[in-house]
């Protein structure tokens, strides 16, 4: 009964000064709302990126040029010279992924854990379209690219090993690229210019939903051997491999590393001039980065909670001054110091809880609004809500103690005489 009366008196005091009470909780509302909104957006970004990485395939391995610290100058050296080159290194993005690497990894008898291996040569071309010139990404690939990416041809055919062996100037268009260039006209047999060379269109890909970090609908695909000639290079910008199944991904990764080290005459894995990453590795790396960014944003937003707590303390101190005679009267008729202390603490906690709950609603509303603007859906987790409520309650308790203690220490006689 005693605690119910204290709660009742606290609520009465709060509603007696509605304007002041609203200004008190406003800082908490903004602070909690900011924390909830930023955490939910961070979770949404992480979930979106995780989804895209998983779409790459759980058994897909990505091989990029350059080690973890730097790229190497060349792999056309002896073992001794290669080791020396690896020590010195060069700044840049010089690739050392060669056709020999692709052919050696494609040997399924020596590498039973690898189902497909693909090498990519990247470039661009300016193509005349129905609405003007358009710069289009051009990728030179092996035939395995279609299997790894899950691309299918809607009309015509994809290039084959014979096209690669003969360095044929043939091209397959992505669905969107075909529409941009030819509209609804037939593209098969037509020619397009890539790096001053004429390529014949032999196929058009079926539309494919965006997968991972690449939109396969917007691009032109040619044999990597022809890309070597057109783009004047002899190395791949990157390679991909697909393990036979999910269980052998790590074994396949080890196999790729050992094979490339041997191909490049490098004995120390720390000096590798390439990096092999699985989808799991990418997921782990991206998750750690987004987690840090989310925590940083939440920390910045939490500063407003401290500001809101200071605001509560100031308002409560003003309240103590305004209610000095009331406190003196209550103590004169028998109210204990602990009763006065408890009432002011309850008032502070109630204000922060109301602000916390309102802040949660505000943060969730901001998240819903952001969904319509951003390319991902913010995720509000129970953990974030519990954290917000807990922090708001703690702030009310911490910043409400000093004003409550000041009120409780008032001498009843001096308080009754206070004007």
pLDDT digits (tens, 9 = 90+) for 80-133: 444 343 333 333 446 689 899 999 999 988 999 999 999 999 999 998 877 778
pLDDT at 203: 94
Tokens for 304, please give them. 């407003």
Cα torsion angle, 220, 222, 226, 227, sign? positive
| Nearest alpha carbon to residue 141 among 124, 160, 120 | 120
φ, ψ for residue 207, nearest 5 deg = -60, 135
pLDDT at 79: 39
pLDDT band at 414 (very low <50, low <70, confident <90, very high): low
pLDDT at 292: 79
Helix (H) or strand (E) holding 114: strand 114-129
**Secondary structure letter of residue 411 according to DSSP:** -
Strand 170-173 to 197-205 pairing: parallel
Q: 85 vs 79, 100, 152, 171, CA distance in Å?
A: 10, 20, 42, 38
pLDDT band at 48 (very low <50, low <70, confident <90, very high): confident
pLDDT at 108: 86
pLDDT at 6: 66
- Check if the beta carbon of residue 72 is closer than 8 Å to that of residue 90: yes
| Nearest alpha carbon to residue 243 among 231, 230, 255 | 255
What would the 3-class secondary structure string for 138-194 be?
A: EEEECCHHHHHHCCCEEEECCCCHHHHHCCCCEEEECHHHHHHHHCCCCCCCCEEEE
pLDDT at 213: 57
Q: Tell me what the mean pLDDT of segment 217-246 comes to.
A: 90
Other beta carbons less than 10 A from residue 46's beta carbon:
20
Per-domain boundaries in the chain: 2-52+285-416, 59-279
Q: Tell me what the mean pLDDT of segment 290-309 comes to.
A: 72
Q: Could you give the 3-state DSSP secondary structure of residue 61?
A: strand
Q: Tell me what the mean pLDDT of segment 365-394 comes to.
A: 73
Most confident of 262-266, 289-293, 322-326: 262-266
Give yes or no for residue 286 having a pLDDT over 80.
no
What is the percent of the chain with per-residue pLDDT over 90, rounded to a whole number?
A: 22
pLDDT at 227: 94
CA gyration radius for the chain? 33
What would the 3-class secondary structure string for 218-272 be?
A: CCEEEEHHHHHHHCCCCEECEEEEEECCHHHHHHHHHHHHHHHHHHCCCCCHHHC
Other beta carbons less than 10 A from residue 368's beta carbon:
13
Q: What is the mean pLDDT of the chain?
A: 78
Distance of CA 350 to the CA centre of its chain: 37
pLDDT band at 305 (very low <50, low <70, confident <90, very high): low
More confident residue, 394 or 114: 114
List pLDDT tens digits, range 137-172: 999 999 998 888 888 899 999 999 999 999 999 999
């Amino acid at each position: 009964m005693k605690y119910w009366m204290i709660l009742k008196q606290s609520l009465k005091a709060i509603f007696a000064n509605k304007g002041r009470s609203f200004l008190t909780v406003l800082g908490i509302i903004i602070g909690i709302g900011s924390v909830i909104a930023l955490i939910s957006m961070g979770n949404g970004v992480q979930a979106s990126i995780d989804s895209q990485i998983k779409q790459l395939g759980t058994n897909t391995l990505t091989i990029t040029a350059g080690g973890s610290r730097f790229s190497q100058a060349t792999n056309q050296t002896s073992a001794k010279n290669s080791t020396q080159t690896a020590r010195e290194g060069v700044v840049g993005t010089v690739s050392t992924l060669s056709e020999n690497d692709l052919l050696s990894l494609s040997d399924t008898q020596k590498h039973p854990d690898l189902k497909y291996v693909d090498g990519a040569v990247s470039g661009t071309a300016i193509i005349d379209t129905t609405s003007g010139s358009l710069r289009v990404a051009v990728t030179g690939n092996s035939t395995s690219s279609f299997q790894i990416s899950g691309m299918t041809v809607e009309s015509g055919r994809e290039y084959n090993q014979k096209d690669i062996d003969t360095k044929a100037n043939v091209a397959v268009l992505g669905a969107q690229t075909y529409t941009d260039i030819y509209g609804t006209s037939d593209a098969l047999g037509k020619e397009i210019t890539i790096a001053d060379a004429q390529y014949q269109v032999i196929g058009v890909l079926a539309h494919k939903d965006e997968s991972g970090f690449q939109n396969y609908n917007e691009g032109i695909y040619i044999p990597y051997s022809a890309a070597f000639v057109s783009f004047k290079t002899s190395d791949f910008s990157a390679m991909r491999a697909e393990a036979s199944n999910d269980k052998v991904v790590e074994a396949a990764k080890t196999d790729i590393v050992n094979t490339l080290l041997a191909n490049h005459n490098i004995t120390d894995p720390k000096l590798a001039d390439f990096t092999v990453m699985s989808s799991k590795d990418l997921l782990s790396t991206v998750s750690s980065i987004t987690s840090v960014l989310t925590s940083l944003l939440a920390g910045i937003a939490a500063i407003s909670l401290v500001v809101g707590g200071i605001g509560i303390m100031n308002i409560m101190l003003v309240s103590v001054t305004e209610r000095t005679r009331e406190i003196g009267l209550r103590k004169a008729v028998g109210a204990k110091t602990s009763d006065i202390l408890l009432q002011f603490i309850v008032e502070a906690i109630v204000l922060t809880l109301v602000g916390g709950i309102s802040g949660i609603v505000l943060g969730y509303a901001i998240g819903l609004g952001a969904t319509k603007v951003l390319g991902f859906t913010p995720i509000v987790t129970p953990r974030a809500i519990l954290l917000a409520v807990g922090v708001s309650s703690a702030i009310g308790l911490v910043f409400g103690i000093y004003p409550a203690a000041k009120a409780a220490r008032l001498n009843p006689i001096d308080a009754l005489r206070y004007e």
